[in-house]
Amino acid sequence: MHGFRTERDSMGELQVPADALYGAQTQRAVQNFQISGRAMPAGFVRALGLVKAAAAVANRDLGLLDGVRAAAIENAARAIANGEHAGAFPVDVYQTGSGTSSNMNANEVIARLASEASGTSCHPNDHVNMGQSSNDVIPTALHVSAALAWHRELRTALDRLHGSLQRRAQEFADVAKTGRTHLMDAMPVTLGQEIGAWAAQIDAARQRLQQSADGLLALAIGGTAVGTGINAHPEFAERVAADLSAQTSLAFCVAPDRFQALSCQDAAVAFSGQLRALAVALMKIANDLRWMNSGPLAGLGEISLPALQPGSSIMPGKVNPVIPEAVTMVCARVMGNDATIGVAGQSGNFQLNVMLPVISETLLESIGLLANGATALATQAVDGFTVNQVQLDGVLARNPILVTALNAVIGYEAGAAIAKKAYAEGRPVLDVAEESCSLSRAELERLLDPRSLTRGGIVGGD
């Protein structure tokens, strides 16, 4: 159907596309906020559907909404929560800071669907929005969508990456290589120890995120306009939280102080901070992989990442570490998003934060990017890289820093002289040490064995 129909709101009449499920208030927002061309993310819209469905159930059970309307509203809202009618939510992210336009968008779409399905007039404000305000619905949907994205997307991806790193660490537990500090040769480590450190980073980030995500379970619902709960039944909020918990298997609850829940987004800011910390960890891991893969001739050449695509439009045969590079860009974006959320979190003036839509969009983008980036790193880089054993062994044999193991036997100064000579002549430190001290070759081989050195402790004579 083409053309327009006439809709009316408190500001008067307005032309709305004839086939649009939304009404006048959404149309005004579409006209007013032509800024980014980006609508609110699907995860947020689905969470909004969950909130509206839970509200209808609560109002029905409290005797405030008749059964026919309640059922129709619930069904329409759950359809939205399931991803249906996604095209009916066109309001730009950069809209009124409370997200009122998105709340009314949901109210109007649900009211129209419910009215058509039930044959009963369902009003966007009087029925769908009963006991609610944009000021408590939008921060509630923000928390619900972020909590769901964490539990269903990012945590799963981190579990996958952590498991992959642990498996490779065990696989290479006995593969010795040159350690590096300041990007310079250092005492040996095993490849398993190096990868195990990455696994520990991911595990620590995962634990911090889980702790922070618990703050997202406290909901603003029931605070209505300013936190007092005006126009909401005293039991409404608890019932909504209970329904959301039942539908999602997450332990949602009503925020202990609803004034705080409306006026600030500290929980979202804190969670974003932990997403940034994860991005820092992923960037370190991705860059280590790039360094280890570098070459293959003029770089370190310790590992070979899976060859996924040609690396140059002009240099035949070149293959680049594309997945680690993509992940570093993800990390850069997430770090920038955290700055946005930090600024937005400061915009809680008196009883309401007025940057809720951008907080929600940015938070969900960070979660999604990190989830996809971690999955790609696991499946397309960590799982499939191979070790260049000849390169590892050759560099390790020539590493003059191995002489550190002789400190307790011959002293620091004598060891430094051996290291300098070995480096200057490009010879194995074992050969130079045999010429320069009284220890037998057999004893030197024992003291300088790289795999023994990866176990630490004081090295000395019998």
**What pLDDT is stored for residue 460 in this prediction?**
53
Tell me: pLDDT of 462 over 70. no
**What pLDDT is stored for residue 456 in this prediction?**
80
458 is written with which tokens?
Answer: 């004081």
Place of tokens 């609560």: 58
Tell me: pLDDT of 461 over 70. no
2, 182, 313, 438: which one is catalytic? 182
**What pLDDT is stored for residue 458 in this prediction?**
62
Contact present, 371 and 154 (Cβ < 8 Å): yes
Is there a catalytic annotation at residue 182? yes
**What pLDDT is stored for residue 397 in this prediction?**
86
36, 121, 312, 440: which one is catalytic? 312
Using one digit for the tens of pLDDT, what is the confidence trace for 236-261?
999 999 999 999 999 999 999 999 99
Q: Return the number of other C-beta atoms located less than 10 Å from residue 25's C-beta.
A: 24
Of 231, 340, 335, whose CA–CA distance to 282 is shortest? Answer: 335
Give the percent of the chain with pLDDT over 90: 91
Q: Return the number of other C-beta atoms located less than 10 Å from residue 458's C-beta.
A: 7
Report the SS3 class of residue 353: strand
Lowest mean pLDDT among 64-73, 321-330, 430-439: 430-439
**What pLDDT is stored for residue 122 in this prediction?**
98
Q: What is the mean pLDDT of residues 105-129?
A: 98
Q: What is the mean pLDDT of residues 77-103?
A: 98
Sign of the torsion formed by the C-alpha atoms of 345, 350, 355 and 357: positive
Using one digit for the tens of pLDDT, what is the confidence trace for 133-150?
999 999 999 999 999 999
d(CA 253, CA 255): 6
Task: Give the bridge partners for 188, in sequence order.
Answer: 178
Q: What is the pTM of this model?
A: 0.95
Report the SS3 class of residue 349: strand
Is there a catalytic annotation at residue 85? no
| Greater pLDDT, 460 or 273 | 273
